[in-house]
Amino acid sequence: MRTGPFLLQAYGNLPHIMLKIYVMLQTLQDIWKSKDLRSRILFTIGVLILIRFVAHIPLPQIDKTQLANFLGQSQNQIFGVLSLFTGGSLSKLSIDLMGVGPYITASIVVQLLTKAIPSWDAISKEGTAGREKLNQYTRYLTIPMAFIQGYGTLALLRSQNILVGLGTLDIVKILVIITAATIFVMWLGELISERGIGNGISMIIALGIISGLPQQITNTANTLQSGNYLNIILVIALLLATLIVVVFMNDAERKVPITYARRAIGSGSAVDSYLPIKVNTAGVVPIIFALSFLTFPAVIARFLTAAKSQAIVSFANHMTLLLNNQLFYGIAYFILVFVFTFFYTYFIFQPEQIAENLQQQGSFIPGVRPGNETIKFLKFIITRLTVIGAIFLAVIAVLPNIIQNAINVTTLTLGGTSILIVISVIIETSRQFNSLMIMHRYDNI
């Protein structure tokens, strides 16, 4: 098979761009010839189309004017961001109202409980069977999470007169429908991971973010039609800068040198390697935690505005005004993301376990004693890296606020968090795709 470097050597007299185009076309031809790759790609595309179809089936008796006022206004920014994470299902009030949010929440809870419950921690160390068992626990936990989140969302929407004319039985029916839709979408996401390409849940979130881009770009372009080209240039520059930084930070890591001691027959030798520690070890989980902490009081306050007690209504109104304050929201969001980055990094990064594994393998960090000295060294390294990662995530989280305040445009909710998710999904999917391509070419040798 003449691909890649072989083509460049065989047709070196052609222009470089033409060679790249030829290689790309040859790669696409190889993909189409491979039954496995073709089936995986078509299956992934088909399932994603089905998910987007489900996301456009609306709930009954929606007051679209009230919904637009509730989600579209700049002071309700938290719910605008949540709508973005649900792939626009929240803004459309579709039967897929919650998206894969309950599944993500359940998976985070299971991760936390795995470290807190010794028996679950033992299960996580059983390899593939243990991971599958924990995944099953996550699926079970998704059901009550979906009911709780669904009930809270429906109660909030009723209190804001968005869902009108619905009785108790209607609410129960809708709650069952949106919970079933969440489980169905979760199942489709796992099917993509199993039979398609990429991580299905991550791809669903990324697709939802991308699907909202055309409308956001259109609204922003209409807002900036006054001829203020400086704002347009500023928006493009900020987004490009964010894109570059996110790509760089996504793969940024500290390579800690590791030496593996070996004893050969009659002589000794050492094999050197390294331990990669990512700068952004926590990923986007701290942002999800921070959003949950900011959203919960906002939902409760909105719900309490319909209470009969004037004191409760007054407290709810003050809480809503406080959370709608751009400065308070930005500072609180920044601090929460920063703190949760440290919390989650220390939770998933275990220096004691890494030091023990190194010692059992007969390896060590040059210049550092095995045991407690290695643990202290790893803690020192991860603390310094987490400071950089926490600042990065916190800035990324509040970037939409910075852009909106800088150019006074509220229509562009696409921020660093969305870019971070999309880029992470693209990189992860491309790596899996390249692995499948290598396997395909190896099988055809």
pLDDT block averages, 10 residues each, the chain of length 445: 48 58 68 78 90 83 67 53 61 79 84 82 80 88 87 76 76 88 90 86 81 68 62 75 83 85 48 80 80 72 71 78 78 89 84 84 83 89 91 84 65 64 81 75 62
Predicted local confidence at residue 343, as pLDDT:
85
State the maximum Cα–Cα separation within the chain, in Å, rounded to a whole number: 87
HSE-up of residue 312 (Cα within 13 Å, Cβ side)? 10
| Kind and range of the H or E run holding 260 | strand 253-264
Collapsing DSSP to helix, strand or coil, 261 comes out as strand
With tokens 């790893």, the residue in question is 378
With tokens 């089905």, the residue in question is 50
Question: What's the sign of the alpha-carbon dihedral 327, 331, 334, 340?
Answer: negative
What's 74's DSSP letter? G
What is the end-to-end Cα distance of the chain in Å, rounded? 8
**How far, CA to CA in Å, does 345 sit from each of 9, 277, 323?**
46, 11, 27
Predicted local confidence at residue 215, as pLDDT:
67
Q: Distance between CA atoms of 353 and 346, rounded to whole angstroms?
A: 12
For domain 34-211+422-445, the CATH superfamily is: SecY subunit domain (1.10.3370.10)
Predicted local confidence at residue 371, as pLDDT:
83
**Boundaries of every domain in the chain:** 34-211+422-445
> In this structure, what are the phi and psi dihedrals at residue 58, rounded to the nearest 5 degrees?
-80, 155
Q: Distance between CA atoms of 106 and 100, rounded to whole angstroms?
A: 10
Predicted local confidence at residue 328, as pLDDT:
82
